Amino acid sequence: MRCVTLPGGDVVPSMGQGTWKMGERAERRSDEIAALRAGVDLGMTLIDTAEMYGDGAAETLICEALGNLRDQLFLVSKAYPQNASRSRLAGACEA
């Protein structure tokens, strides 16, 4: 897998996995977890999500599927526009 070296020295895969629509339907949960795990097994350790994906359901799914691998992953997330201010962004990331 091709990678990109960030200015701080971290090496990040150039391709990752998106999670839009994940975690929204219980009947797909096991398949979505399997897909995330398979992607990581193939080297796709960059995971893209957002607090607005399923109103946090995608983030919960990622934790369930990959929480034990947290130190090996690069998580990219986005905040709701109303949480994009300096005063609210940290809280949105911690939630």
Token pair 């999500």 in the structure block, residue = 49
DSSP 32-61: HHHHHHHHHHTT--EEE--TTGGGGHHHHH
Check: CB of residue 92 under 8 Å from CB of residue 51.
yes
What is the three-class DSSP state of 3?
Answer: strand
Q: Is 10 exposed, middle or buried (0-12, 13-18, 19+ CB in 10 A)?
A: exposed
- 36, 47, 53, 79: the active-site residue: 53
Q: Answer yes or no: 80 catalytic.
A: no
Known catalytic residues are 53
